[in-house]
Structure 1
Amino acid sequence: MSVLDLARPDIRAITPYSSARMEAQGGTVLLNANESARSPNVPGGEGLNRYPDPQPRGLVETLADLYGSTSERLLVTRGSDEAIDLLVRAFCQAGQDSIAISPPTFGMYAVCARVQAAGVIESPLDASGKLDPDALLAAVTDTTKLVFVCSPNNPTGNLVELATIERLARELQGRTLLVVDEAYLEFSGTRSAASLIDDFDNIAVLRTLSKAWSLAGARVGTLIARAEVVALLRRIIPPYPLPSPCVDAALAALSYEGRRVQRHHVHELLNERARMARALATQPGVREVLPSHANFLAVRFDDAAGTYRRLLAAGVVVRDITRYPGLGDALRITIGTGNENDRVLAVLGAGA
């Protein structure tokens, strides 16, 4: 059985939109896309009168090298959000199919499913905050087309071991596509689930330049999967997903110098994460600092709502995650610069 047998038959049969850039390349007089003949008179506007490449070759090849994959297995998207939406639309028939998630986790999985009128099956993390593979597998039904696993998980920061992901892929083979969201993987020091794609055609991996590569504003995400899955999603992705300035920013960040700076930033963040985990645990009103493999810490408080208001009054914005199941007393604190982190500790200490 091919993994494409899990996809919607109408998507497999659809005739994709063929953009002007896709149909003809290599010319010097470009009169096929109804673009302006002149660049705009704005800073950095040279060339912005032209549509960008649908899948910029240089960026795709650079990302393939970065993630240890190949160009035909990569789809570049507007952040991971677009990849999630494409997967749900391609695999879930409205009113019939479902996805499975393990809350508390990233909210866009469920949002994209509900927009598509697909069901959402929940298999919560266990009492220790870890994914329970037995419970997740038991929750999957005949209509479940996608299983989302976030590792490291947002908003808890816990890691799902690669052996667990391999087990899920094996037991779901022929039944469901396993989507592993690795937005925070660079902060964990662990191997990517993309290493399993040779063995399992039912794995798709999400990566992003938003976190460890400091490009949240550029919105550059990557989906890594078997070539046939990438080809299917290319049928329904909008024709020009990445603006040219975003592509240029990504290539600069992924240059030799950019990679040197990125390694320094990640090293600095890991040191600050360890320092903050130790310091937060000693602050008044803190119940627990959850272990984290990401660039944030989920922290339980005696009075999460009051702590949130106190931080906000001091100009410090953290994430209120009390609405998530099992996190009714928690706030998520992103690791900032040393000075920003000191500000958090000062506010919390002043509330004693």
Structure 2
Amino acid sequence: MNIQDLIRPTIKALKPYSSARDEFQGVTDDMVFLDANENPFDNGVNRYPDPQQGKLKALLSEIKDIPTKNILLGNGSDEVLDLIYRAFCEPNQDNVIILPPTYGMYEVLANLNAISLKKINLTADFQPKVEAVLAQADSKTKLLFICSPNNPSGNSFSQDAIERLVANFKGIVVIDEAYIDFSNEPSWINRLPEFPNLIVTQTLSKAFAMAGIRLGICYASTEIIQVLNTIKPPYNINELTQKKAVELLSIKDLTSNQITEILKERSLLISELKSVSYISKIYPSDANFVLVKVDDANKRYNQLIEKGIVIRNRTTQPGCENTLRLTVGTSEENRILIGVLHDLS
């Protein structure tokens, strides 16, 4: 597969904006910067941030065992996804495939970028219909979005199914691994060298407990990363975000300990949910949430709101009639949730 054939012609011809900090390398503390029209009075944020996020990428490279040249960072994963659309999809011409029920921003971004959608619903047990997906793809189908572990169902897709899709789809395959750190399944970042058309997105918002700083991560071939770097805003990751991410990622065992606690609480929560009379099904979860089927999702959602507990009602999503999505909270939060669920009539 020639990735160049998938890139929009206007993007291939685009000359990227060169910021002041892009043009000069080798920064040292004793240098005088008079190049970027910044306010010279130091308050910790008066200078533009590193446009290539060198320290942060180096740390992620060490954690994930992926070269920095294969990493692009975004202002949340949504910016990463938007960049992918803009790099590969021609407005009012191309189309993409999504697999509902799935993350809602894939559709929002398609509409924002004037890209047609092909929706191929997952099976009853929330697995991709591989042959249907491949059959629906045409010469204008540029992207396939795979969310695994899937939101809102919580399950991981079959590795065999994903491999068949990545190997046979003629466009770019984006595997969204926002919840991969809660799963025992291997990440697809380890297989990037095998598939030039593969993009894997991850985030610091879930397992790494940094939703407030909005930092998404894209792992791909150097060819794809170069294209996305061409069109990303010059200073898309601000200084405060970069510093906070480096600070928290540097704390040994912080994330692994929190993941262990969340997985323990997930198991306890599932065990307790089994005794709630109006819950008829608890779906398998490889994420930090649990999807449950109830007698009346709208009724139960409103009852929980009245008790001060906010969850997600997913009943309008394909295959999710009368389902509620429950995030795994702290031990105390989960205890409160279970107590309220038992008290509802």
Q: Would you say 1:58 and 2:51 are equivalent positions?
A: no
Shift of 1:121: 0.5
Which residue number in structure 2 is paired with residue 273 of structure 1?
Answer: 266
Which of these residues, 107, 115, 122, is aligned with residue 118 of structure 1?
Answer: 115
- What is the distance in 1 between the residues matched to 2:132 and 2:16? 38
Aligned to 2:344: 351
Shift of 1:61: 1.4
Are residues 1:301 and 2:294 paired? yes
Task: Name the residue aligned to 1:322.
Answer: 315
Q: Distance in 1 between matches of 2:256 and 2:219?
A: 23
Identity percentage of aligned residues:
39
Residue in 2 that maps onto 1:12: 12
TM-fit CA distance, 1:310: 1.1
Match of 1:130 in 2: 127
Instruction: Give the superposed CA RMSD.
Output: 1.2
Contact 1:156/1:290, CA 8 A, preserved across alignment:
yes
Native 8 Å contact 2:75 2:214 kept in 1: yes
2:247 is aligned to 252
Could you say which residue in structure 1 is the equivalent of 2:23?
Answer: 23
Q: Which ranges of structure 2 fall in alignment gaps of 5 or more residues?
A: none
**In the alignment, residue 318 of structure 1 is paired with which amino acid?**
I
| Aligned mates of 1:142, 1:332 — CA distance in 2 | 37
Shift of 1:203: 0.2
Tell me the matched-pair count. Answer: 342
* Aligned partner letter, 2:177: E
Aligned-pair distance for 1:132? 1.9
| SS of structure 1 residue aligned to 2:324 | strand
Matches of 2:101 and 2:136 in 1, distance apart?
16
Q: CA deviation at 1:164?
A: 2.4
Aligned residue identity for 1:78: N
SS in 2 for 1:179: strand
Tell me, yes or no, if structure 1 residue 159 matches structure 2 residue 152: no
CA contact (8 A) 1:310 1:347 kept: no
Q: How does 1:80-159 map to 2 (within 5 A)?
A: 80-159=77-156
**2:118 partner SS:** strand
Q: Is 2:178 the counterpart of 1:183?
A: yes
* One-letter code aligned to 1:127: A
1:47 matched residue in structure 2 = 44
Q: Deviations over 1:278-328 (max 9, x none)?
A: 211210211111111000011111011111111111111001112211112
Alpha-carbon offset, residue 65 of structure 1 = 2.0
1:322-350 CA-to-partner distances (Å, cap 9, x unmatched) read: 22111120111100001101111111111
Distance 1:66 1:6 in 2: 31
- Of 309-318 and 24-33, the range deviating more from structure 2: 24-33
Cα shift at 1:269: 0.5
Would you say the 8 A contact 2:127–2:158 is kept in 1?
no
The more displaced of 222-231 and 273-282 is 273-282
Match of 2:328 in 1: 335
- Asked if structure 1 preserves the Cα contact closer than 8 Å seen for 2:89 and 2:142, the reply is yes
Structure 2 residue identity aligned to 1:294: A
Aligned residue for 1:287? 280
- Stretches of structure 1 that go unaligned for 5 or more consecutive residues are 40-45
The Cα shift of 1:351 comes to 1.1
| Contact preservation (8 Å) 1:101, 1:121 | yes
With 29-38 and 207-216 compared, the bigger mean Cα shift is at: 29-38
Q: Which amino acid aligns with 1:340?
A: E
Amino acid at match of 2:265: E
Alignment match, 1:238: 233
Which residue is equivalent to 1:42? none
Q: Determine if contact 1:74/1:222 at 8 Å carries over to the other structure.
A: yes
Whether the 8 Å contact between 1:122 and 1:139 is mirrored in structure 2 is: no
One-letter code aligned to 2:168: E
Structure 1 residue 242, shift from structure 2 partner: 1.1
Structure 2 residue matching 1:305: 3-state secondary structure: helix
Please report the TM-score for the alignment, with normalisation by the length of structure 1.
0.95
Q: Using the TM superposition, give the Cα deviation of residue 261 of structure 1 relative to its aligned residue in structure 2, in angstroms.
A: 1.7
CA contact (8 A) 1:77 1:220 kept: yes
Contact kept? 1:74, 1:225, Cα under 8 Å: yes
Runs of 4 or more above 4 Å deviation: none
